[in-house]
Structure 1
């Protein structure tokens, strides 16, 4: 095979036969590599805290830095394909329920739930993942037309990623028509990408500074995060430091985890969100947990999910999430109903004129969407039946789960486009309520069907952020569609393999990986079947639901009127996450949020091109994510902690004792 042909095949040209020019092998391969790393990282953190990140902005940044080592750097549109493929690969742990649904099924009790624990084999996990991996992808193209082209929703994270790509490639701002045109012409150029004569020396210097600064910041943040994580594996007390002494750590679970990855996640989440999370942590763990214990409402050990304070405050968390999500969805539902039914009732609608800028050959044909969605639903229904059996969930219920998932995905996408929050937690609870009605008394069916519905909503929503980026940078929607399909397909095997390795090495849920969202799914399913709440929890659930319904209404009202203080109104979902996780998970994220606020307001306030903190945060997160794979290998080989010194409080998950 001639070397020149091989270089052209791996170059920026793409393939012949109608394949979009930016859909190149190198872009897809790079996206899969980054996405596979993020998949392990998201599974690791998702099982710990219930929180995962799309990391689309970080995928673009890492892809750009790596591409600078290639003979021909990636074009902006190829970088979008990298980002899209990476996101589809990296978010599968949540889309397929590996951080919530499957751990919940593993905690079933036959005497209480009517079903023994369900532990999927690797092959069964592959089948389950394949069942839910694609139908959300096929939902994306038609929804894109409505929310990105017609309504032109903001999708803040997708827009921010487009801005970053524009900065990295020295393009005009994405909003500018000139920026869109120039970006597209550059990828279609017949010559290799090179610095033209009229590019200024300042632009060249900026590009070199971004590359040099980016690599240095990434390495200098990646290495200490990895070293600290490995040290904590051999000396577990490093990640379980008692805050107020051993007695309070042992009794009330007050420890501190100085994880740099948690700091990085706090930077990514931002100061307002981490502040809401820590307000929730203080309310749950400093007030309600001791109150429920001392009043005898939660008589068991504090950390018990069945009769302890942690299980008691879980219900208040659930009420907050449902109230916040449902109230936040009301304007979305009203707007959608107005757009759909308005013309028939003579109402004015919010839909704008057709602003589609892509020619048909760069769009996803409608026939592909219809056929693909129908096939994915049919195959998915059969696979769910094959994995869980007829006693687990009936095929007609699974089919309804897919249909409900399609409807909920519209709400998820619109909420995400307006608020940058995908309310899958609330949507998942809606699906559970629906299936408690149509198939009552079956906890397994309730969890599985709810997970099927949630998968489509989560996947369609998160992938829409990437389509917004592609729209602004003028990447081919069809190229992104290909990347989404490939990324989702590869991630089936990556996620199932990673989960199988973790379940062999660790107890899940367990001390190291508590999988808090699994208890949310299981607790609601049990409530819907039995109708029994822990003592006095119902009163607090109602009170907090009313409070945060009002807070959510206020936040939505302020956001729609562009009030400056909107971001400082507490987030109900973030507040509730503070309840789900022990204090150790929230405090370090607050440190990251404070660091982000100080840096943004005092250091980089006049420099919109300063990306150093983003790079540092990415290095922190990836450092622990990569090292966690090493820790997993060591654990599988029987290599444990060197010393359990300082672990007298019983909060160190790494010790075999």
Structure 2
């Protein structure tokens, strides 16, 4: 019995020892697992902090291999589509949405699809890289950018006879034709590219300017080419395609009900006929809803506030002064009547806002430039020293690799300077033959000052993400227009000078944004420059052709009653007229109101900046407020609906809204925008909608019914 007890005790001891051993092994395994997890987390954190370590194993192709045939073909197709979208916005509200996200996303999708199809057929096995994706995005944005800087919605269309008559001038006009528009764009659109090329190292590496749009685009493209990012991109493309189809089909459905003037869903008196008369209604536009989802909430609210202030308060009050402040016999389109108040008060707000922002950005630019030059001279010696990528331990792995590759493919300074001088000489000789009012010495003066202004715009854009291209254009309108004078075609000279200046400073800031994107995706500066040149050349041909389709398909384009009123064409025309003729032609008390609103725009901006970004969220933006002064509030209501949709979506699921919101908005904008192509083709072919859906008051409906009812004999 004692032996049995001892045996059982030994067995119990053995079992306990085994249990203890097992527990110790479990603890060791758990410790090892925790340690491994910690190591994995540390590695993930390290990779997360270093984007380039993710792509370390992938070879960076040479700059020539980044410029592939498929990239150019895809860029051309997207450029045509985006040019229609930008042109539509140019000719409706003048608000141009940022298409960088859409260009990067669709470029990724189409080239990826191309690559997969060719891989299956075993014809072509070149991998799709983020550098090639950057080339596509750069090319598309450069091309569609010409649709804006080309002035089809402002200075260039403002030269036409149609807009001249709207502004009360029967002479001093130049009607658009494809030939001279393409020629004009080719001789003025490339100068901005050559003017800032020598400054790329200073801006990107020495000054480390952020260029928020270029940086955001780079993060987007880098994200697409990771496994997780590729899955998200596929989902985003799916959402974009879904809402693209919906938007296109909805616009097609609406077309059937637009057989006459003021017909269709776009003229739906949502808030009643009285409100409709003063441009307050929801017009069921998918474009403006999508635009509202992209634009910041304060911009959408500012548009609505501007519409309420003008069409809800000011214009009805001024209309009550008809016969006192201005003649009661004047037509509605006369600038000596109510139309004059609408146009010139809007111009005053735009000029006040533009002058304030110009002064602010220029001051910040000069102060930051002085500080950075001081730092560079005091720390590293001369600014233009032949420097190689720094080996300082302060530089992160990403910055070391990016800087090394960014400085690898240099663009010679002599090439940039020689290109600028050659194109400037050709342009100076050519432009007077296109616009005889624009003398060669006007152009020479513009080209002497243009590089400095292009640098200021590119630098200011790097600090604030705010391009002041239109402000520099307005400066050229007033200076050259006043120099030429009314008797020597000052209006056309000012508008043409605006085009020269706008193209230079706009393309300069766009190129520097693309250099920043290329720097962060390891795309070569040479491939960036060449793709920008190719995209600009595409835009110089595509944009005039797209504008010509609109111009021929819609004979009422530019008129206030048109689907495409081109509001800024009339605004720019009247700016040129004001600069040449002075303020004597304005209606009674219009100048006083202009002074008030000019000062108010500056004061509101001062208040906004004084309160700071966190506390200024409820102060409207004057430039946005000015846009509905001429057009009305209908598009502002649509945009506020889009803003509300995004706001509610963010409250329900912030992550999903941030991930898919831009894709949904882009789908709505692209689908509605691309409908303009078949719509224009139908108009040119003489195919008219079959139905007119119109809204009448009860009394008017009774009178119409009595008129149409046959009388009994």
TM-score range normalised by the length of the shorter chain = 0.7 to 0.9
Aligned partner (choices 143, 156, 174) of residue 118 of structure 1: 174
Separation in 1, partners of 2:523, 2:252: 40
Judging changes above 3 Å, is the alpha-carbon distance between structure 1 residues 346 and 602 closer, same or farther for their aligned structure 2 residues? closer
Does the CA-based 8 Å contact 2:63-2:523 persist in structure 1? no
Does the CA-based 8 Å contact 1:342-1:348 persist in structure 2? no
Q: Report the alpha carbon displacement of residue 515 of structure 1 after superposing the two structures with TM.
A: 0.7
Separation in 1, partners of 2:672, 2:516: 30
Does the CA-based 8 Å contact 1:443-1:525 persist in structure 2? yes
Separation in 2, partners of 1:621, 1:343: 41
User: Residues 8-31 of structure 1, C-alpha deviation per residue, up to 9 Å, x if partnerless?
Assistant: xxxx9999xx74442222222222
Does the CA-based 8 Å contact 1:301-1:309 persist in structure 2? no
Find out whether 1:371 has 2:418 as its counterpart.
Answer: yes
| Residue in structure 1 matched with residue 72 of structure 2 by the alignment | 28
Find out whether 1:547 has 2:576 as its counterpart.
Answer: no
Q: Report the alpha carbon displacement of residue 475 of structure 1 after superposing the two structures with TM.
A: 1.7
Aligned partner (choices 78, 81, 100) of residue 154 of structure 2: 100
Separation in 2, partners of 1:347, 1:147: 12
Find out whether 1:399 has 2:425 as its counterpart.
Answer: no
Separation in 1, partners of 2:406, 2:376: 31
Does the CA-based 8 Å contact 1:235-1:643 persist in structure 2? yes
Aligned residues: 594
| Residue in structure 2 matched with residue 447 of structure 1 by the alignment | 495
Does the CA-based 8 Å contact 1:54-1:91 persist in structure 2? no
Does the CA-based 8 Å contact 2:196-2:455 persist in structure 1? no
Q: Report the alpha carbon displacement of residue 287 of structure 1 after superposing the two structures with TM.
A: 1.5
Judging changes above 3 Å, is the alpha-carbon distance between structure 1 residues 276 and 464 closer, same or farther for their aligned structure 2 residues? farther
Judging changes above 3 Å, is the alpha-carbon distance between structure 1 residues 341 and 254 closer, same or farther for their aligned structure 2 residues? closer
Q: Report the alpha carbon displacement of residue 556 of structure 1 after superposing the two structures with TM.
A: 4.2
SS in 2 for 1:147: helix
Instruction: Spell out the pairing of 1:127-276 with structure 2 (5 A cutoff).
Output: 127-170=183-226, 203=227, 207-211=230-234, 213-236=235-258, 237-249=264-276, 251-276=277-302
Does the CA-based 8 Å contact 1:288-1:313 persist in structure 2? no
User: Residues 123-161 of structure 1, C-alpha deviation per residue, up to 9 Å, x if partnerless?
Assistant: 111112212221122234234334333332332222222
Separation in 1, partners of 2:366, 2:87: 36
Does the CA-based 8 Å contact 1:405-1:452 persist in structure 2? no
Instruction: Spell out the pairing of 1:272-421 with structure 2 (5 A cutoff).
Output: 272-296=298-322, 297=325, 304=333, 306-338=335-367, 356-388=403-435, 390=436, 392-421=437-466
SS in 2 for 1:59: helix
Q: Report the alpha carbon displacement of residue 568 of structure 1 after superposing the two structures with TM.
A: 4.8
| Residue in structure 1 matched with residue 653 of structure 2 by the alignment | 603
| Residue in structure 1 matched with residue 568 of structure 2 by the alignment | 517
Q: Report the alpha carbon displacement of residue 332 of structure 1 after superposing the two structures with TM.
A: 2.9
User: Residues 43-96 of structure 1, C-alpha deviation per residue, up to 9 Å, x if partnerless?
Assistant: 112111112234112100111122331236632121111110000111112211
Q: Give TM-score scaled by structure 2 length.
A: 0.77
Does the CA-based 8 Å contact 1:226-1:623 persist in structure 2? yes
Separation in 2, partners of 1:89, 1:317: 30
Q: Identify the range of structure 1 (594-603 vs 276-285) with the bigger mean alpha-carbon deviation.
A: 594-603
| Residue in structure 2 matched with residue 479 of structure 1 by the alignment | 527
Does the CA-based 8 Å contact 2:167-2:570 persist in structure 1? no
Separation in 1, partners of 2:458, 2:110: 31
Separation in 2, partners of 1:26, 1:368: 28
Does the CA-based 8 Å contact 1:13-1:21 persist in structure 2? no
Judging changes above 3 Å, is the alpha-carbon distance between structure 1 residues 53 and 142 closer, same or farther for their aligned structure 2 residues? farther
User: Residues 353-374 of structure 1, C-alpha deviation per residue, up to 9 Å, x if partnerless?
Assistant: 8775445442322122112212
Find out whether 1:645 has 2:645 as its counterpart.
Answer: no
Separation in 2, partners of 1:111, 1:219: 42
| Residue in structure 2 matched with residue 632 of structure 1 by the alignment | 680
Q: Report the alpha carbon displacement of residue 350 of structure 1 after superposing the two structures with TM.
A: 12
Judging changes above 3 Å, is the alpha-carbon distance between structure 1 residues 566 and 456 closer, same or farther for their aligned structure 2 residues? farther
Q: Report the alpha carbon displacement of residue 636 of structure 1 after superposing the two structures with TM.
A: 0.2
User: Residues 431-477 of structure 1, C-alpha deviation per residue, up to 9 Å, x if partnerless?
Assistant: 22221342222111111112211221222223333222222222212
| Residue in structure 1 matched with residue 101 of structure 2 by the alignment | 57
Judging changes above 3 Å, is the alpha-carbon distance between structure 1 residues 291 and 152 closer, same or farther for their aligned structure 2 residues? farther
Q: Identify the range of structure 1 (44-53 vs 110-119) with the bigger mean alpha-carbon deviation.
A: 110-119
| Residue in structure 2 matched with residue 180 of structure 1 by the alignment | none
Separation in 2, partners of 1:558, 1:329: 19
| Residue in structure 2 matched with residue 622 of structure 1 by the alignment | 670
Does the CA-based 8 Å contact 1:65-1:215 persist in structure 2? yes
Separation in 2, partners of 1:125, 1:35: 18
Does the CA-based 8 Å contact 2:406-2:525 persist in structure 1? no
| Residue in structure 1 matched with residue 660 of structure 2 by the alignment | 612
Aligned partner (choices 591, 594, 597) of residue 641 of structure 2: 591
Separation in 2, partners of 1:534, 1:427: 28
| Residue in structure 1 matched with residue 144 of structure 2 by the alignment | 90
Separation in 2, partners of 1:624, 1:346: 50
SS in 2 for 1:415: helix
Aligned partner (choices 125, 130, 134) of residue 76 of structure 1: 130
Aligned partner (choices 625, 628, 640) of residue 575 of structure 1: 625
Q: Structure 1: 5+ residue runs without aligned partners?
A: 1-11, 171-202, 650-657
Q: Report the alpha carbon displacement of residue 227 of structure 1 after superposing the two structures with TM.
A: 1.3
Q: Report the alpha carbon displacement of residue 114 of structure 1 after superposing the two structures with TM.
A: 7.7
| Residue in structure 2 matched with residue 463 of structure 1 by the alignment | 511
Q: Report the alpha carbon displacement of residue 39 of structure 1 after superposing the two structures with TM.
A: 0.8
SS in 2 for 1:564: coil
Does the CA-based 8 Å contact 2:348-2:595 persist in structure 1? yes
Judging changes above 3 Å, is the alpha-carbon distance between structure 1 residues 247 and 287 closer, same or farther for their aligned structure 2 residues? closer
Does the CA-based 8 Å contact 1:262-1:588 persist in structure 2? yes
Q: Report the alpha carbon displacement of residue 554 of structure 1 after superposing the two structures with TM.
A: 4.0
Q: Report the alpha carbon displacement of residue 633 of structure 1 after superposing the two structures with TM.
A: 0.2
SS in 1 for 2:159: helix
